[in-house]
Amino acid sequence: MTAKPHLDRNHARHLLGQMLRIRRFEEKCAELYTQQKIRGFLHLYIGEEANAVGVVGALSADDSIVATYREHGHALARGIPMGPLMAEMYGKSTGTSRGRGGSMHIFDRSTRFYGGNAIVGGGLPLAVGLGLAEKMRKGSGVAACLFGEGAVAEGEFHESLNLAAVWKLPVLFVCENNLYAMGSAVERTESETDIHRKAEAYRIDSHRVDGMDVVAVEATTRKALERIRAGAGPQFLECMTYRFRAHSMFDSQLYRDKSEVERWKERDPIERFGEWAVACGLLHREDIVELENKAAAEVDAAVAFADEGSWEPVTDLCRYTLMDAVPT
């Protein structure tokens, strides 16, 4: 575990608290899925929380985010309130997108969260555009774009990296490499499995980081953001991580060994960080209990909020297909 001087007790509590919120939220989502309150696809992030907390937590308010369908963690880390997020998972009108997006399409204007995108690779060009707008307006914001290693095989990945590099745009590309795209192991689909080397081919500064270590992810992200804000152009992070659950809610996981999953679980980012923080005296056991209780209470309140929410009236079916005005 990378120790950082700025990692004081408060910050350690914050990091652990965020990861716990995400974990408990998603565990509840899985439960609600079996109760059929959440339907459709549900891609859990369990095991990968250190990345969302490390990357998104390092962003500032004027930065923007583009994520994938596996974005609940990023949404929570960004500060999107859990109630509307859960209501969106249900499809309720009290959800972040009035229920029209669901789990794969979380959007939130007030925190500059430009969507969960369910087209693999489809979000990268958007992030390039967000970075372009920021640069043209001479703002200091960075567009952070998170995607899986599966996206790296898409043409949009290559087009976007090249364009961002040619125009020196303030874009942070973050590849969450969990080694699988559905059932396809990265070594079966990529000729070059060191993903960050692809970014180097576009002359983008590129770093690989242990995505099970929240402190390392955060520290690396901060450095990358500093370089972007100093005008160095886009930066690329490859976070080595692992999803503990199925790709979507259920799959038979024929594509990987149980022992492999167990080995990765030994590196659970939450347990690992908690144990380490206690061992070095940053946190007390009671802190962890308290954070657990807070997360549990927040999840309960979010479920209640979602349960209480109403459905969009069917008469509003076609609303927002065309906009009457640009929202401000």
Ligand X SMILES: Cc1ncc(C[n+]2csc(CCOP(=O)(O)OP(=O)(O)O)c2C)c(N)n1
Chain contacts with ligand X (rule: CB under 6 A): 70, 118-120, 148-151, 178, 180-182, 247
Cα 134 to Cα 130: distance, rounded to the nearest angstrom: 6
- The yes or no reply on residue 170 touching another protein (CB under 8 A) is no
Closest approach, Cβ 68 to ligand X, in A, equals: 6
Q: Which one, 148 or 269, has the nearer CB to Mg ion?
A: 148
Cα 36 to Cα 45: distance, rounded to the nearest angstrom: 19
- The yes or no reply on residue 100 touching another protein (CB under 8 A) is yes
Cα 72 to Cα 68: distance, rounded to the nearest angstrom: 9
CA distances from 318 to 66, 209, 315 (A): 25, 44, 8
Among candidates 78, 77, 75, 281, which has minimal Cα distance to 88? Answer: 75
- The yes or no reply on residue 71 touching another protein (CB under 8 A) is no
Q: Which of 143, 215, 219, 270 is the binder for another protein (CB under 8 A)?
A: 143
Q: Which one, 64 or 178, has the nearer CB to Mg ion?
A: 178
Closest approach, Cβ 272 to ligand X, in A, equals: 21
- The yes or no reply on residue 94 touching another protein (CB under 8 A) is no
Q: Which one, 179 or 228, has the nearer CB to Mg ion?
A: 179
Cα 114 to Cα 65: distance, rounded to the nearest angstrom: 6
Answer whether 181's CB lies under 8 Å from 150's CB.
yes
- The yes or no reply on residue 153 touching another protein (CB under 8 A) is no
**Total residue length of the chain:** 328
Closest approach, Cβ 39 to another protein, in A, equals: 16
Q: Which of 19, 46, 76, 128 is the binder for another protein (CB under 8 A)?
A: 128
Cα 228 to Cα 203: distance, rounded to the nearest angstrom: 14
